[in-house]
Structure 1
Amino acid sequence: MKPMNQSAGEALAIELPSMSRRKLLLGMGAAAVAVAPDAHGAAVGQALGFSGDQAENPELIVAYQKFNDACAQLEEARSSLEWLADEWRHQWPLAPEELLHGANAQDGRGTMPAERDIVGRYLIRDTSELTQRLAPKFRRETQNTCFAICTANEERKLLERWKRSTPTGRTEKALARNRAYRIKAIRECELRIQLADQYEAETARLRQVSGADAARLRVREADILLQKAADEVSKCQACTVAGLAMKADALTVTAGALMKITKSDDSPLGQIARFIESVAEVAGRASE
């Protein structure tokens, strides 16, 4: 079974600026400043180099409106995907214990595909029932985890290698033991192939009848649209503090994960991340 593209499922974790905040910024940016701003807004604007009577760049307002619409589309697509995941949760099969490999697959460091739910998120399992392959000590210490799973295709490759192998042994006893081990390995491999074929067929069927793949594609497309809209906002010149807040919101969407990772660094990336965060905070307070 091919590992599913994960961008749609992982897009559920992206944070978006709130709808009410975006509407407020749009309203502030769209209005030409004909009256004196409040003292706090004027002070912030002057500190950032904006004059108190400037109107916002119309191109930025249009671009931010598109960004606002893209945020709404992504939120709607995510909600639909969450609903689908909850609706089909009890019909989604767990992979047979024979197919489970390494634990902690949710870390994303393994080469084998991880077990996932119907919308592609890591499936965290209760280990207390996995008595065939897990030692009691492990089950006590790791009560919940995600496992890597073997696929039918990989098991077929392994089966071919076992069939081509020739047991050897320095003594008759060792040779007999290795021959028995080879036969056992082939039988276990054939069983895993059968189980994997059944599991993969059923999960593929459920993804199709539920519309999960289409729902994930909508999230992925909405995410791409949002990234493009945010990029357009970043290319527009801001003329007011509200406009600067618009650009900060859009940048937070595209660079939020990078900022979280690097803002504590001593490198230039850390300095940039801290600067962006400060600008977003100042612009946000001025627009409240």
Structure 2
Amino acid sequence: MKPINQSAGEALAIELPSMSRRKLLLGMGAASAAAVAIAPDAYGAAVGQGFSGDQAENPELIVAYQKFNDACAQLEEARNSLEWLADEWRHQWPLAPEELLHGANAQDGRGTMPAERDIVGRYLIRDTSELTKRLAPKFRRETRNTCFAICTANEERKLLQRWKKSTPTGRTEKALARNRAYRVKAIRECELRIHLADQYEAETARLRLVSGADAARLRVRGADILLQKAADEVSKCQACTVAGLRMKADALTVTAGALMKITKSDDSPLGQIARFIESVAEVAGRAST
């Protein structure tokens, strides 16, 4: 059994799904640095004559887009701070004891049990070669790295109560004795898992508190909400120039980027809309350079 304070520094943490501008990929949370780089070009073109003769851009759109640009920068800063925190505390974060590990491939998000995560909530990908208590050699050879679901103390206490209330039966004395022994063994193992889970949960809660991880995650969430609202404000403003269309296309990639990625190859109206938005962004981007 690995000690409760064994570091998770050698495990791989993968990102949770998060929104970003331009690179909106489920499961990857890159900060929206591209937004900050693109904005000055679109902003400068819109303030002047833009690309429609002497027509200037709608001042409300310019203000809304600047707020959107600022929100992108705030989200990037919050995510960078979270990444720094994760790196600083990686070697103090404990891996869950092997006795608590349950189903593999928990990073797929399909299970009902909680997955093992790092201090900032990302899935922890474990090296399976050292997990010899519960994994068969064939599984370890075929699945070198994976994220596991983990047992919680509360769920184990519920299981313990069910075992204690159970009454072993058997058609023969031998079968009855075997089932009674199995019940005793199950209760003992359950009590061990409760003890380990209590220790693990207390230590991870302590580290999240002293590191400020929960507060840092809330800052990212708040910055992401602010970015969504800013993008929505941009979408509500009328564009008067090609640069303005570029601003609206940029903002739309935040709120609909995942949908566009999924549907742009479809023959449905959603696919047509996604391809149109992509074309507008490309043409407007070329026009402003």
For the superposition of Structure 1 and Structure 2, which TM-score range results when normalised by the shorter chain?
A: 0.7 to 0.9
Taking structure 1 as reference, are residues 68 and 19 closer, same or farther at Cα in structure 2, changes over 3 Å only?
farther
- Give 1:85 shift: 0.2
- Give 1:117 shift: 0.3
Is 1:50–1:240's contact at 8 Å kept on the other side of the alignment?
Answer: yes
Is 2:46–2:56's contact at 8 Å kept on the other side of the alignment?
Answer: no
Structure 2 counterparts to residues 118-129 of structure 1, below 5 A: 118-129=119-130
Is 1:36–1:52's contact at 8 Å kept on the other side of the alignment?
Answer: no
Identity %: 95
Is 1:16–1:253's contact at 8 Å kept on the other side of the alignment?
Answer: no
Taking structure 1 as reference, are residues 100 and 118 closer, same or farther at Cα in structure 2, changes over 3 Å only?
same
Q: Distance in 2 between matches of 1:26 and 1:175?
A: 52
Is 1:33–1:53's contact at 8 Å kept on the other side of the alignment?
Answer: no
Is 1:25–1:287's contact at 8 Å kept on the other side of the alignment?
Answer: no
Residue ranges of structure 1 left out of the alignment (5+ in a row): none
Taking structure 1 as reference, are residues 138 and 155 closer, same or farther at Cα in structure 2, changes over 3 Å only?
same
Q: Distance in 2 between matches of 1:26 and 1:199?
A: 29
Q: SS state of the match for residue 26, structure 1?
A: coil
Q: Distance in 1 between matches of 2:26 and 2:134?
A: 57
Is 2:13–2:123's contact at 8 Å kept on the other side of the alignment?
Answer: no
Is 2:16–2:122's contact at 8 Å kept on the other side of the alignment?
Answer: no
- Give 1:286 shift: 1.1
After superposing the two structures, state which structure 1 stretch, 166-175 or 218-227, moved more: 166-175
Taking structure 1 as reference, are residues 27 and 181 closer, same or farther at Cα in structure 2, changes over 3 Å only?
closer
Taking structure 1 as reference, are residues 268 and 45 closer, same or farther at Cα in structure 2, changes over 3 Å only?
farther
Is 1:8–1:220's contact at 8 Å kept on the other side of the alignment?
Answer: no
Q: SS state of the match for residue 22, structure 2?
A: helix
| Cα deviation code 1:160-200 (max 9, x no counterpart) | 11111111111111111111111110110000000000000
Taking structure 1 as reference, are residues 21 and 113 closer, same or farther at Cα in structure 2, changes over 3 Å only?
closer
Residue ranges of structure 2 left out of the alignment (5+ in a row): none
Is 2:8–2:95's contact at 8 Å kept on the other side of the alignment?
Answer: no
Is 1:63–1:232's contact at 8 Å kept on the other side of the alignment?
Answer: yes
- Give 1:267 shift: 2.0
Taking structure 1 as reference, are residues 20 and 204 closer, same or farther at Cα in structure 2, changes over 3 Å only?
closer
Q: Looking at secondary structure, tell me which structure has more helix per residue.
A: 1
Taking structure 1 as reference, are residues 130 and 241 closer, same or farther at Cα in structure 2, changes over 3 Å only?
same
Q: Distance in 2 between matches of 1:28 and 1:122?
A: 12
Is 1:105–1:114's contact at 8 Å kept on the other side of the alignment?
Answer: yes
Q: Distance in 2 between matches of 1:239 and 1:209?
A: 51
Q: SS state of the match for residue 8, structure 1?
A: coil
- Give 1:22 shift: 12
- Give 1:78 shift: 0.4
After superposing the two structures, state which structure 1 stretch, 261-270 or 81-90, moved more: 261-270
Is 1:112–1:148's contact at 8 Å kept on the other side of the alignment?
Answer: yes
RMSD in angstroms over aligned alpha carbons?
A: 7.7
Is 1:44–1:241's contact at 8 Å kept on the other side of the alignment?
Answer: no
Quote the residue 1:256 is aligned against. Answer: 257
Q: Distance in 1 between matches of 2:38 and 2:197?
A: 70
* TM-score, scaled to structure 1: 0.83
Taking structure 1 as reference, are residues 103 and 45 closer, same or farther at Cα in structure 2, changes over 3 Å only?
farther
Is 2:16–2:123's contact at 8 Å kept on the other side of the alignment?
Answer: no
Taking structure 1 as reference, are residues 41 and 21 closer, same or farther at Cα in structure 2, changes over 3 Å only?
farther
Is 1:112–1:150's contact at 8 Å kept on the other side of the alignment?
Answer: yes
